[in-house]
Amino acid sequence: MRIVVTGASGLIGSALVPALRDDGHEVQVLVRRPPRAPGEISWDPVAGRLDPAALVGVDAAIHLAGAGIGDHRWTTSYRQTLRTSRIDTTRLLARTLAGLSPRPGVLLSGSAIGWYGTDAGGDAGPLDESAPPGDGFLARLVADWEASAQPARDAGIRVCTLRTGVVLAADGGALARQLPLFRFGLGGRLGSGRQWLSWITLNDHVRALRFLLDDTPDAPGATVAGPVNLVAPEPVTNARFTAALAGVLHRPAFAVVPRVALRLALGGFAEEGVLASQRLTPAALTDAGFHFTQPAIDNALRSVLIREP
C-alpha cells in the first residue's frame, strides 16, 4: 500500500512509520517545511495548502498531527492552538482526500478519549464507543475534531477516529514525564487516586493501527469504521497504576500530589487531563478480533520499562 502519514515525528508516528515500512508499505509523510528527504510532502495547514497531485495514488492516510495536550498551560491562545492544530489539519486532509480520483480506501484520523468528558464509566462499568460525548473543553474539541473528517466520510472513504488513551512508552508521553520522580522514590498518586485511567502500550497502539489499516477484502480490520477506543481492555485507577509502576521499578511510592497543587501547576489540564476519570473498553477493536499483547497493567509496564539485553 501507499500510505501518507501526518504527525510522523510524534510519539506514535515515530514508531508507526518504521513499522509500516518494515511491513513493505510505501510511506510518505507530510511535513510543514520544504521536503529534505525522499518520501516527504510539504503542506501548510494554516494557509490551507496541500497539493492534491502529491497524493494521487494514495491507498490510505493516517492523520496523527496535533499540538500536545499537556505540553503547555491552557491559556486562551494555547486552547486555540489545540483546536486549529487538530480541526484545520483534519479538514484540509479530509477535503483533499475526498477530491482525489481514485480515492484512498481508508483514513485513520486522530482523536482522543477526551470525547467522554472528565467522569466516564466508573463504578457503573466501562463505556464503549457508543457512549455520548461528555462536557468540558476537551470533549467539545474532540467532537469538532472528529466532525472535521466528514468530507472524507461523505466521499465514501472508510474513516476510523482514533480515540486514544494514555500511551505508555519509556521515551515519551505521560509515562516518561513521571519516570524520574518514581525512579528516585518520589512518585505517588494524583489527587484521590480513585480516578480511572484508560491506557495502551505504544506497541499495541501501533499494532492496532496496522490492524485497522488493512483494507483488503475479508480483513477483520476493514470492517471497522467510526470511533475506535485505542485503550487496553483493563483500565485501572490512578492508585493502582501508581502501585504497579512503583512495583516494576522496585521503588516506594508514598507521595500524594494534592488536587489543589495540580490545579495550580497545570491549570485547566489538571481537571480535564490528569484528574479526569475515564473507564473505557476497546469494544470496536475486540469485536473485530483484535488481540492485545499487553492487556494488563503490570505486564504492560514491565514490557515498556524492562528491556532484555
Q: What is the pLDDT of residue 307?
A: 65
Which residues, in sequence order, are CB contacts of 204 under 8 Å at separation 6+? 232, 292, 293, 294
Mean pLDDT confidence for 232-242: 97
Q: Computed from CA positions of residues 17, 19, 23, 24, in that sequence, does the dihedral angle turn out positive or negative?
A: positive
Whole-number mean pLDDT of the chain?
Answer: 94
Kindly provide the residue ranges of all beta strands, DSSP E only, lying in 12-144, ordered along the sequence: 26-31, 40-42, 60-63, 106-112, 119-120
Give the distance from CA 115 to its chain's centroid.
12
Q: Decide if pLDDT at 308 tops 70.
A: no
Q: Decide if pLDDT at 72 tops 90.
A: no
Q: What is the pLDDT of residue 268?
A: 82
pLDDT in tens, 113-148: 999 999 999 888 899 999 999 999 999 999 999 999
Instruction: Read off the pTM.
Output: 0.95
Mean pLDDT confidence for 77-85: 96
Q: Measured between alpha carbons, how far is 152 from 258 in angstroms, rounded to an integer?
A: 44
Which of the four pLDDT bands, split at 50, 70 and 90, describes residue 259? confident
Nearest to 283 by CA among 168, 134, 108, 121: 121
Calculate what percentage of the chain has a pLDDT beyond 70.
Answer: 99
Exposure string of 133-161, with b = 16+ CB inside 10 Å and e = fewer, is ebebbbbbbbeebbebbebbbebebbbbb
Which of the four pLDDT bands, split at 50, 70 and 90, describes residue 264? confident
Mean pLDDT confidence for 214-221: 88
- CATH level 3 topology of 2-305: Rossmann fold (3.40.50)
In the sheet where 106-112 sits, what is the strand order?
40-42, 26-31, 2-6, 60-63, 106-112, 158-164, 226-230
Q: What is the pLDDT of residue 306?
A: 85
The residue extents of the domains of the chain are 2-305
Q: Decide if pLDDT at 81 tops 60.
A: yes
Mean pLDDT confidence for 240-269: 90
